[in-house]
Structure 1
Amino acid sequence: MPATKKIAVIGDVMLDCYWIGSTHRISPESPVPVVNIKTIEKKLGGAANVALNIQTLDQTVSLVGLIGDDDAGRDLKDLCQSAGIIDALITDSQHATINKLRVISRQQHVVRCDFEENYPDTPSKSTVDLCKKEIESADVIVLSDYGKGFLQPVSELIAHARAHGKKVIIDPKGDDFTKYRGSTLLTPNLSEFEKIAGTCHSDEELFEKAQTMRETLDLEALLITRSEKGMTLFEKDKEPITFSAQARDVFDVTGAGDTVIALIATFLAKDHSLPEACRIANLGASIVVGKMGASTVSYDELNRAMREASRAHHRILTKEELLEEIKIAHDRQEKIVMTNGCFDIIHKGHVSYLEAARRLGDRLIVALNSDASVKRIKGPERPIMDEESRASVLASLSSVDWVVLFDEDTPESLINELLPDILVKGSDYEVSDIKGAEAVLNNGGEVKLIDFIDGYSTTKAINKIKQLS
Structure 2
Amino acid sequence: MALPNFSQIKVLVVGDVMLDRYWSGATARVSPEAPVPVVNINDAEDRPGGAANVAINLSSLGAKVTLLGMTGNDANADALEKRLLGYGIDCHFSRCDGFDTITKLRVMSRNQQLLRMDFERSFADVDKASLESQFAAALADHDLVILSDYAKGALSNPARLIELAKAENKPVVVDPKGTDFKKYHGATLITPNMAEFTAVMGDVNSEQHLVELANMLCSDLALDALLVTRSEQGMTLFTPDETEFHLPAKAKEVFDVTGAGDTVISTLAACIAAGESLQQSCVMANLAASIVVGKLGTSTVTTTELAVAAGQHNHPDGGVMTEEQLALAVSAAKQRGEKVVMTNGCFDILHAGHVSYLDAAAKLGDRLIVAVNTDASVQALKGPGRPVNPVQRRMAVLAGLSAVDWVVPFSEETPQRLIAGILPDVLVKGGDYKVEEIAGGMEVLENGGVVKVLHFEEGVSTTGIIETIVKQQSYGKS
* TM-score normalised by the chain length of structure 1: 0.67
CA, structure 1 residues 344+243, in 2 after alignment: closer, same or farther (shift >3 Å)? closer
Q: Secondary structure at the match of 1:262?
A: helix
Q: Give the CA deviation at 1:311.
A: 8.5
Does the CA-based 8 Å contact 1:21-1:36 persist in structure 2?
Answer: yes
Match of 2:154 in 1: 150
Is the aligned partner of 1:159 residue 2:163? yes
Unpaired runs of at least 5, structure 1: 315-342, 356-382, 398-425, 427-449, 457-469
- TM-score, normalised to structure 2, is 0.66
- Aligned pairs for 1:166-205 (under 5 A) are 166-205=170-209
Structure 2: runs of 5 or more not aligned = 320-350, 355-384, 390-456
Q: Following TM superposition, by how much is the alpha carbon of 1:107 offset from its aligned partner in structure 2, in angstroms?
A: 2.1
Task: Give matches, 1:121-160, under 5 Å.
Answer: 121-160=125-164
Matched, 1:454 2:466: no
Q: Structure 2: how far apart are the matches of 1:3 and 1:247?
A: 27
Q: Please show how residues 55-454 of structure 1 align to structure 2 within 5 Å.
A: 55-310=59-314, 384-385=458-459, 452-454=472-474
Of the structure 1 ranges 102-111 and 198-207, higher mean CA displacement relative to structure 2 is found in 102-111
**Which residue of the partner structure matches residue 332 of structure 1?**
none
Number of aligned pairs? 343
The one-character-per-residue Cα deviations of 1:201-258 (angstroms, maximum 9, x if unpaired) are 2111111101100111100000001111011000122100111011332222111111
Separation in structure 2 between the aligned mates of residue 27 and residue 452 of structure 1, nearest angstrom: 54
More deviation in 111-120 or 58-67?
Answer: 111-120
2:100 and 2:282 map into 1 onto residues whose CA distance is: 35
C-alpha displacement at 1:5, in angstroms?
2.5
Name the CA distance, whole Å, in 1 between partners of 2:352 and 2:97: 72
CA shift for structure 1 position 113:
1.1
Task: Give the conservation status (yes or no) of the 8 Å contact 2:251–2:294.
Answer: no
Structure 1 residues 39-58: Cα deviation after superposition (integer angstroms, max 9, x where no partner):
21111100000000000111
Identity %: 42
| Amino acid corresponding to residue 40 of structure 2 in structure 1 | N
1:38 aligned to 23, 38, 42, which one?
Answer: 42
Kept after mapping to 2: 8 A contact 1:254/1:293: yes
Larger radius of gyration, structure 1 or 2? Answer: 1
Q: Retained in 1: the 8 A contact 2:15–2:147?
A: yes
Task: Extract structure 1 runs of 4+ deviating beyond 6 A.
Answer: 311-314, 343-346
1:4 aligned residue (8, 16, 22): 8
Name the amino acid aligned to 1:65: G
User: What secondary structure sits across from 1:64 in the alignment?
Assistant: strand
How far apart, in 2, do the equivalents of 1:168 and 1:192 lie?
Answer: 19
Which digits, 9 at most, give the CA deviation of each residue in 1:300-343, with x for residues without a partner?
211222233338999xxxxxxxxxxxxxxxxxxxxxxxxxxxx8
SS of residue paired to 1:94: coil
Aligned 8 A contact 1:171 1:187 in 2: yes
8 Å CA contact retained: 1:223, 1:234: yes
- State whether residues 124 and 154 of structure 2, in contact with CA within 8 Å, keep that contact through their aligned partners in structure 1: no
Following superposition, the deviation at residue 455 of structure 1 comes to 7.3
1:49 aligned to which of 37, 49, 53: 53
Structure 2 CA distance, aligned partners of 1:64 and 1:385? 65
Q: Could you tell me how far 1:384 is from its partner in structure 2?
A: 3.4
CA distance in 2, matches of 1:257, 1:296: 11
